[in-house]
């Protein structure tokens, strides 16, 4: 399918856009646009490089006042679990970024495929979006995007329990999928 090919090219472009940060940063990561949370958080004592079982409190929103302390991670728990799991076979921030990008790319392709199933060629609005090049590998957001689009796909297929489940998973990856929930009308009419 053409949409998947274009999405793959866009994701490769996103990786190439962030690849200058695979070299010594020397303070250029912001001017080069290659800054990403994935590399930055790996060495920041946030248990991403701990190759031991980690208490779930260390993998979720966990802070000591205004500063993250003791290995805290500022993402919701499922993102923390994914980030920690991605770090298990890795040693070094650069390898962590490459491995994370490899693990995240299928979620971008899944999103494009689901959108193509629902909207046809309009899925190119996602698959070829410059914002995907800029942000696909900025952090772990492709996970929540795939979960949220999966929820809309399930709703489109009238699989309402799956839609609710996927929005719940999305909320455990980032909080914004909760904004898509609404209260149903008790009269059965659609709003």
Q: Dump pLDDT digits (tens) for 66-91.
A: 555 555 677 888 998 898 888 888 88
In this structure, are residues 139 and 42 in contact, taking their beta carbons and an 8 Å threshold? no
Give dist(CA 95, CA 97) in Å, integer: 5
DSSP letter, residue 28: -
Length of the chain, in residues: 191
Give dist(CA 74, CA 52) in Å, integer: 20
* Confidence class for position 30, pLDDT limits 50, 70, 90: confident
Q: Which residues make beta-bridge pairs with 64?
A: 67
Backbone φ and ψ of 149, nearest 5°: -65, -35
pLDDT for residue 186 is more than 60: no
119 contact partners, CB below 8 Å, separation of at least 6? none
Residue 49 is predicted with a pLDDT of 63
The answer to whether the predicted template modeling score (pTM) of the entire model surpasses 0.95 is: no
Tell the residue number behind the tokens 């994914």, with chain if given. 82
Token pair in block for residue 36? 């990403």
Token pair in block for residue 159? 């699989």
pLDDT for residue 56 is more than 60: no
pLDDT for residue 61 is more than 60: no
């Amino acid at each position: 399918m053409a949409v998947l090919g274009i999405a793959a090219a866009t994701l490769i472009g996103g990786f190439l856009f962030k690849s200058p940060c695979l070299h010594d940063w020397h303070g250029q990561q912001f001017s080069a646009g290659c800054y990403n949370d994935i590399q930055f958080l790996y060495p920041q004592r946030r248990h991403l490089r701990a190759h031991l079982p980690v208490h779930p409190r260390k993998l979720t929103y966990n802070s000591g006042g205004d500063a993250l302390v003791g290995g805290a991670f500022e993402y919701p728990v499922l993102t923390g679990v994914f980030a920690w799991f991605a770090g298990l076979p890795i040693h070094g921030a650069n390898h962590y970024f490459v491995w994370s990008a490899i693990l995240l790319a299928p979620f971008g392709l899944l999103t494009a495929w689901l959108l193509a199933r629902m909207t046809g060629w309009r899925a190119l609005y996602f698959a070829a979006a410059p914002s995907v090049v800029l942000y696909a590998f900025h952090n772990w957001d492709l996970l929540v995007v795939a979960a949220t689009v999966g929820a809309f796909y399930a709703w489109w297929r009238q699989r309402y329990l799956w839609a609710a489940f996927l929005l719940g998973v999305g909320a455990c990856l980032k909080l914004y999928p909760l904004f898509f929930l609404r209260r149903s009308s008790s009269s059965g009419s659609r709003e």
